Structure 1
Amino acid sequence: MPVQSSALPRSPAEMLSVLRAELSATQAERGPALGFGLPEIDEKLADHGLDTGGLHEVAAASASLNDDAAATLFVAGIAARLSEQPGCTVLWTATTFDLYAPGLEQVGLGPDKVLYGQGRKDAEVLALAEDALRDGSLACVVAEVKSADMTATRRLQLAASDGQTPMLLYRRHRSRERCPLSTPSSAMTRWRIGCLASEHLPWPGVGRPRWQVELVRQRNGQSFTLELEACDAQGRLALPAAAVDRTAAQERAASHAA
């Protein structure tokens, strides 16, 4: 039976009203955003933070152990901030565990905040993550996998939305130096993390680690790259000290000119 014309919007204004109502309903279903506390990141994100009812992917900038550690700590720092409230627990799933617990604790993710789950293969890890997301009782779910196709990421995104629980998918392993973020995904954001040389100190020692944080893709937003200092004891990133000083100097100069 053909659709009666009276059932359709009769004017562009009515069509616009319908679209706005649908958009509002979609946004109402999405979780609150977890901001990084840095305007240089938050203002560039479509949600001004990470959607806590969505899937977010992370990969290392290279197959080196240094970049792998940086990407792991980037994920751990986000998980630590999501589990700040007492009683909030993170589920971390993988096929093989080589996590360095003291390193996780240094970015705020202590042993009292983490449950570990292990699967024999990626399919089991993804199934564990999906069930945990739908339960809705965890601060977030972290999964390390060699690969995840479009169907798997779509299921994780739907489960994260249903349970209003953030999903952090660490695409850890590489094949022939091909970045795992080059494959299609349903993730809300996709991040690539690499190490940079730390700042030289005026005395012997090692400065705070620095990372190159690249947002490769985000839904409804643009990509960007920033040089940042690594996570502190609360899992928070920071601008390099030189950049902070330069910004303060520019503000002082502007105030004097006024």
Structure 2
Amino acid sequence: MSLEQLLERGAVWRASEVVAEPVVAGLGCGHAELDQLLQGQGWQPGSLVEVPYATEGCGELRLLFPLLTASQERWVLWVDPPHISYAPALKAAGVALDRLLLVRSNSRRDRLWCIEQALKRGCCSAVLGWLGDVSPRALRRLQLAAAEGEALGFIFRPAASKDQAAAGPCRLLPEPDQAPDKLAVSVLKHRGGWPLSRRVLSLRQRSLGNRAASLASQPAASAARVRPVR
């Protein structure tokens, strides 16, 4: 069958025929360069952001500092980070330590369950989880939980995961830059556009706008029980 026939039957997708979805204003990332690349000019509540990284401490956490510092009233949940964060550095950056929860799980099943619970309840301004090998089904379930709770989740995974299918609408690849206060970020996936090549961001502390800070400190949603992820 010729290409013309396939087009007539509607069997071939055309980028020019994509119906534009309503753009929802996001939470500013605190990095103007990154805001300009993402739909809605920032992080989208109700979504999962996957962050594959090759080197621990390359700046993957400092990328989130503007969001974390704006979360002064709601909880920020960290699930199984590879190292215990240095509290004085977090405090110096403006992170409210009394609103930070650190969870250590006993198994991957418990880890996924904890992340899912927090996302679905919408009780945190941000949920940060560190995962190794995980099934696409489990990631899809986490994305559904984030959408239900209108929550914002960040999943940190090994760099090899960047070539796997992404369940969430956004995937960022951070890489260290030669300058200590810079971070190279590649947007591997984002809603409403094609992947974007490396951009170098400044890691100097920035603040979110008044609107973003207000959204980050909204009261927590009511709790809801869900089944564990298998």
Which residue pairs with 1:122 in the alignment? Answer: 108
Match of 2:160 in 1: 179
Out of 194, 203, 218, the residue aligned to residue 222 of structure 1 is 194
Larger Rg: 1
Q: Aligned in 2, Cα 1:41/1:97: closer, same or farther, shift over 3 Å?
A: closer
Deviation, 1:103, is 3.0
Structure 1 counterpart of 2:144, from 133, 158, 161: 158
User: 1:58, CA displacement in angstroms?
Assistant: 1.0
Give the superposed CA RMSD: 2.8
| Higher RCO (CA 8 Å, separation ≥ 6 residues) | 2
Contact kept? 2:126, 2:152, Cα under 8 Å: yes
Deviations 1:95-146 (A, max 9, x none): 7543222333343323122011111222211110101111122112111111
Q: Which of 61, 66, 74 is the matching residue for 2:63?
A: 74
- Determine which of 94, 113, 124 is the counterpart of 2:99: 113
Name the counterpart of 1:4: none
C-alpha displacement of 1:76: 4.3
Shift of 1:46: 2.2
Alignment-mate amino acid for residue 72 of structure 1 = L
Q: Is the 8 A contact 1:76 1:235 kept in 2?
A: no
Deviations 1:162-216 (A, max 9, x none): 1111111111xx4xxx522211121111111121122xxxxxxxxx611111111
Q: Secondary structure at the match of 1:147?
A: coil
Percent identity over the alignment is 23
For residues 167 and 235 of structure 1, the distance between their equivalents in structure 2, rounded to whole angstroms, comes to: 18
Task: Report the CA distance between 1:222 and its aligned residue.
Answer: 2.4
- TM-score with structure 2 length normalisation? 0.72
- In structure 2, the partner of 1:205 is none
Is it true that 1:145 corresponds to 2:134 in the alignment?
no
Residues 19-58 of structure 1 aligned to structure 2 (within 5 Å)? 32-58=25-51
Q: How many residues align?
A: 191
In structure 2, stretches of 5+ residues that fail to align are 1-17, 210-230
- 1:39 and 1:73, CA in 2 relative to 1: closer, same or farther beyond 3 A? closer
For residue 169 of structure 1, what is the aligned residue in structure 2? 155
Give unpaired runs (5+ residues) of structure 1.
1-18, 199-207, 237-258
1:87 alignment counterpart? 73
Q: Which residue of 1 aligns with 2:11?
A: none
Residue 69 of structure 2 aligns with an amino acid whose one-letter code is A
Structure-1 separation of matches of 2:81 and 2:184: 27
CA contact (8 A) 2:65 2:205 kept: no
> Which stretch shifts more, 91-100 or 157-166?
91-100
Aligned partner of residue 215 in structure 1, secondary structure: strand
